[in-house]
Amino acid sequence: MRHSIAMPVRDGQVATTRFAALRHEITKPTLSFLMEAHDGISAKIVEEAGFRGIWASGLTISASLGLRDSNEASWTQVLDVLEYMADASTLPILVDGDTGHGNFNNVRRFVRKLCERGIAGVCIEDKLFPKTNSFLGEAQPLADIDEFCGRIKAGKDSQTDPDFTLVARVEALISGRGMDEAITRAEAYHRAGADAILIHSKKASADEIFRFAEIWANRAPLIIVPTMYYATPTDLFRQAGISTIIWANHLLRSSITAMRQTAAAIQEDESLMRVEGSVATVKDIFQLVGNAELEEAERRYLPAPPAVGAVVLAAGGELGGLPADQPKCMVDIRGQSLLKRLTGTLRECGVQDVTVVRGYRKEAVALPGVAMVDNDRFAETGEAWSLACARNAIRGETVVAYGDVLFRRYILDSLLTSSADVVVAVDAVASVQPWAGKRDLVMADRRYSGDYLDDEPAMLRRMNQYIPASEVAGEWMGLARFSARGTAWLQEEIAALEAEGLLEQADMPLLLTRLAARHPVRVKYFTGHWLDVDTMTDLAEARNVT
């Protein structure tokens, strides 16, 4: 299996496998960069940032497992992590193979398993198993040159893809053996079949790296890890003919800093308020791990759920203070009409089949992909009449919303997941705030308790603008959801109003009150996070919070 990825590279060529992509990065004449990753999500972040290859660091993989960089993680545990990384990203991965996890026999088995998982290359270092991190201690013992050459030959003989890259890491400078031995070892490893040489140093200056590069004279691609000599300008590495730079551990190190700060703040505050605005959103996580692809796959492979429709009542007139030819639902809110923002929220929640009832200046109410129904008697009829104009769209599960409201998505999500056949969104804050003008006040059998654990359902008793203050449980947000059975009840109530000669003047509060007298209508309480855009003040607030 060649692990094809059709990955474009900078010089216009196309690498058809991850193996070929890594080989290209290391052998091309311009400087390449590999960024450290240690798990699936960090691999995705490396790709998102625009890097063209990943360094799977032994240090950071071990540390992410809570282990030391001393071969405490077995090579099979490392393989498991690498498999997640390869699945998460299309980038080629060069894995830090430490010493090869043993002798030549361990190396050849490790290489075969890497090839099976589409890991494009391995770097092995000329130290003894179990390894010790290069930055710990001095004069670490090195492997015998001939024995290490045997590991290189075993690895090259075992690769199942011709483009698999084996990098030999020379530790002579780190261990204090000097430049001559570093060159001697690099020459031997190159003759043994290493595709590239990684020369390592822990000095704050890159002088010995430049000296090695000068002597080495590009006999094979040269890779460096400037963790300690990070202040050296990158252009100097280009001038020295370096093939590839590995940024070796910085994603893990930065994540530790961020996690410490976040954990300390939450522990100190016993609250999320200080940190919530400074951390990645849950939506970011969903995007990184590919939830959109899963949703597309569900649409392809799972039976389609019953479609949810919506009827938006937008027949009302203009907003005072704006030109008289502009319907209220079409006022601009930061570059989008109020109606477009409302239907956008509906569609984000999976409500795709939207019907808008328009009336005032109906020719100005238009939106692609939205069905339009006209109430030409909007000036002399009420909201129930407008709803009746769209009765053909009231079928199956249906959302009914006023055309001049905005609300956070979670409010509609909560209605859509309710088990009730009819559920209305009610703002409980209105029960403790003074109000003026016409508002759809709600009386229910239970008020909002404010207790997070209180999930006892509240049921609608009455809705109108004249409910006494002592009995007000909240204000209806102009948003309701009906199950298939609930829409049947709604159709019956519309027909009953029509038969009684009340439909023309009935508003939605009367319709819902009558419905609640015959059937259970659930009240779902919320605290803010919505707007009824009815005045210029409301419009200004909508523009501020959108």
Residues designated catalytic: 69
- Tokens 């909240």 — which residue? 474
DSSP secondary structure string, 229-296?
STTS-HHHHHHTT--EEEE-SHHHHHHHHHHHHHHHHHHHHSSSHHHHTTS--HHHHHHHHTHHHHHH
Retrieve residue 452's tokens.
């997070």
* CB neighbour burial string for 273-284, b if at least 16 within 10 angstroms, e if fewer: eebeeeeeeeee
DSSP 3-state percent helix, strand, coil across the chain (nearest 5): 40, 20, 40
Phi, psi for residue 442 in degrees, rounded to 5 = -120, 135
Alpha-helix residue ranges (DSSP H) falling in 159-249: 179-191, 207-216, 234-239
- Tokens 């590495």 — which residue? 237
Polymer length in residues for the chain: 546
Q: State the distance between the two ends of the chain, measured CA to CA, in whole angstroms.
A: 50
Phi, psi for residue 213 in degrees, rounded to 5 = -60, -40
Contact 358, 367 (CB under 8 A): no
Q: How open is the CA angle 490-402-438, to the nearest 5 degrees?
A: 100
Cα–Cα distance measured from residue 31 to residue 235, given in angstroms and rounded to the nearest whole number: 9
Angstrom CA distances, 415 to 88, 186, 396, 424, stand at: 34, 67, 15, 8
- Tokens 């654990």 — which residue? 453
372 DSSP 8-state letter: E
282-289 and 291-301 helices, crossing angle to 10°: 60
Retrieve residue 261's tokens.
């700060």
DSSP secondary structure string, 348-400?
HTT--EEEEEE-TTGGG---TT-EEEE-TTTTT--HHHHHHHTGGG--SSEEE
Contact 126, 150 (CB under 8 A): no
Cα–Cα distance measured from residue 270 to residue 444, given in angstroms and rounded to the nearest whole number: 34
Cβ neighbours, 10 Å, residue 9: 15
Strands 309-314 and 54-56: unpaired
Coil vs helix vs strand at 294? helix
Handedness of CA 389, 391, 393, 399 (dihedral sign): positive
Retrieve residue 436's tokens.
């003026």
Cα–Cα distance measured from residue 299 to residue 310, given in angstroms and rounded to the nearest whole number: 21
